[in-house]
Structure 1
């Protein structure tokens, strides 16, 4: 699709990704390929819906009506074969916000919460912010692909884990968990009476031949102990509109979560977030299918080029738009890697150490950009390695 070839100038738009380059990387000539938003415009249907809403010119209090909820319900059934009900939905500005609320509502201070490292940085911060204990189940890197250490997983659950935060698909390693893997995690959580907080914000972004399975869709028993966090923000590049939702079929858990949201002053979504969810889920499917093909193509371009022209290894991925790069061949520690990529390669990536000590020799690259931008970033890295 032609829309994914256009290079948009995002500077001076208050973009975190582009307008904080000098502040974060100490130089304005660094190419930002870090924070997880895309350099693509949202689907035209979404932009048109937002402009039509703006034409009305009145931005009063708004409700999340049945049209918005039905769009969410229908999307999950079409895309993920998951039949949910509209009254299972809770809304907030973002997945991390809702995760904060769930931890406060459904766990107690000093409770232990399990995560699979290396993993999305806010997981650590959310757990620690509310005086809960971080327990790690490190993933195993084998044959250039990550897998779950189920022996360690169960050993950790046996210690009295209250909740497990699942990242599915996994950020930053790019795994789309198989049905067998999900069923085994679910079985063990049920066996040891552990709640599942499932971050599935990248669920729509599996590669074309992969299929994301919501863990709560596996069985009614698992659904009863699961809170699933989702949003159109990663899927359609709508993070700035601050619209996300949680799916909880267990009424007791959902009531506690909703009460916590209300206690913190969250009463719904803003007008534009409301509008965008409905338009994206009703009319964004063709755009998304085109995007997924572009992301897969971008991923294999990065993998082939870096592995052909350097000793870097790009970990095998099945989804997300984030490439996880093994930089151990450079012989640098985590600080050295940050310096090399920002000062020498002039490419702004996420430091792997930020996802846990298991990522100290890795960097994360955002590949959701036009090929022209991607090629420039890859060439800068290759040239810098050759000039060392």
Structure 2
């Protein structure tokens, strides 16, 4: 497919650039961490360069344009965001860590829905809180919420916080309005505050749209949002926190200030404004490219690697596939693949107890690299079956 304006096919050498994805591990083709191998939209990089050319990098304040950019962007999702509501944070996970420390006590229980983004485990356990898993039900390549189990877990006295992933990483599911309403009602019933991590919200299939949790219920909730995943600017540490509930907002915003999580660097501010004000055309083409990559990968796997099965997904650039037919743990298999073929994926076991037979694959790369990675996986499966 030929795109009219933006280039997603050129391969960029990221080795030896202090790049976590390409330099952290000894591997030929890293397809693990959620980081895209595409150049940033020129509308963003031009603004960063313009700011850099000023040659003055002092302390920054958040301008009105930043608030307006967030508010205008979320109108597309049907959310009328008061421009005074979003609070800058220097990253989604730093903000969530602060929120956990503010709203819970040590040894409190925090509920997550597994399999889920592995850092959820770390941010809970590193702060001496306990993880409670509401395991998603996997049937015929699809995931569903076990609402009976969810209610039982929320009813536990020490569960005071629930962390939602919307859209969900790693399974790529957009939660429906009905599902979100059920979650909101249960959390209201048992007085459990919700944190909704919506960092992947823009990365849906071209004909799909996510639903902001905060538009579902008036129950106290916290939403973390950011342009970093959508526009490949994770290294700039720019995010925002949006809260429903006046007392909750006061408490959390104060905590973000006290822990210095709300202090912005000048490039983070300008990049976010440029992304939300001028990045829509680039994002639309990116979403189409990712969708085509997904179709390419699905066709390849179905034809060439029938031993693994993709789960249904309509969001994120992460594929989640079932390797249970191979009868090997995910951790052992990713090591095997890397040693034999040079491709590195994410092990399912990192995402929860119920996912040790799954692997996660990042497809946000030029088609040529994706094809190379898929061929490497095929080679690895073939070698493994011959052992």
Q: How would you bin the TM-score normalised by the shorter chain?
A: over 0.9
Which residue of 2 is the match for residue 250 of structure 1? 245
Superposed, 1:151-230 pairs within 5 Å as 151-160=148-157, 161-219=159-217, 221-222=218-219, 225-230=220-225
Cα drift, residue 262 of structure 1 = 2.2
Aligned equivalent of 2:7, options 3, 7, 20? 3
2:274 corresponding residue in structure 1: 279
Using the TM superposition, give the Cα deviation of residue 384 of structure 1 relative to its aligned residue in structure 2, in angstroms. 2.3
1:345 to partner: Cα distance: 2.9
Q: Deviations over 1:296-343 (max 9, x none)?
A: 111121122112212111111110010011111212123321222211
Taking structure 1 as the reference length, the TM-score comes to 0.95
* Structure 1 counterpart of 2:72, from 67, 71, 74: 74
2:87 is paired with a residue whose SS is strand
Counterpart-to-counterpart distance in 2, 1:358 and 1:249: 32
Q: Distance in 2 between matches of 1:375 and 1:186?
A: 41
Give the deviation of 1:365 after TM superposition. 0.6
Residue number in structure 1 paired with 2:144: 147
Tell whether the 8 Å contact from 2:87 to 2:262 is kept in structure 1 after alignment. no
Find the aligned partners of 1:335 and 1:53 in 2 and give their Cα distance: 43
Aligned counterpart, 1:14 = 18
Residue correspondence of structure 1 range 294-305 to structure 2 within 5 A: 294-305=289-300
Contact 1:166 1:198 in 2 (8 A): yes
Q: Distance in 2 between matches of 1:267 and 1:238?
A: 18
Whether the aligned pair in 2 keeps the contact of 1:174 and 1:323 (CA below 8 Å) is yes
Shift of 1:105: 1.2
Aligned residue number for residue 340 of structure 1: 336
Correspondence for 1:129 among 123, 126, 129: 126
1:373 counterpart residue number? 369
Return the alpha-carbon distance in structure 2 between the equivalents of residues 245 and 68 of structure 1: 10
* 3-state SS in 2 of match to 1:182: helix
> Would you say the 8 A contact 2:90–2:262 is kept in 1?
no
For the residues of structure 1 that align with 2:209 and 2:356, how far apart are their CA atoms? 30
Q: Say if 2:95 and 2:261, in contact at 8 Å, map to a contact too.
A: no
CA shift for structure 1 position 267: 4.3
Find the aligned partners of 2:171 and 2:262 in 1 and give their Cα distance: 34
Which 5+ residue runs of structure 2 have no aligned equivalent?
Answer: none
C-alpha separation between the residues in 2 aligned to 1:119 and 1:174?
A: 10
Counterpart of 1:86 in 2: which secondary structure? coil
1:250-309 deviations in Å (ceiling 9; x for gaps): 221122112222222334210000000000000000111111111111112112211221
TM-score, with length taken from structure 2: 0.95
Structure 1 stretch 359-368 or stretch 126-135: which is displaced more? 126-135
Q: Distance in 1 between matches of 2:145 and 2:262?
A: 38
C-alpha distance in 1 between matches for 2:289 and 2:29: 20
The answer as to whether partners of 1:88 and 1:249 remain within 8 angstroms in 2 is no
Find the aligned partners of 1:104 and 1:83 in 2 and give their Cα distance: 29
| RMSD after superposition | 1.2
What is the match of residue 235 of structure 1?
A: 230
Structure with the largest fraction of helix: 1
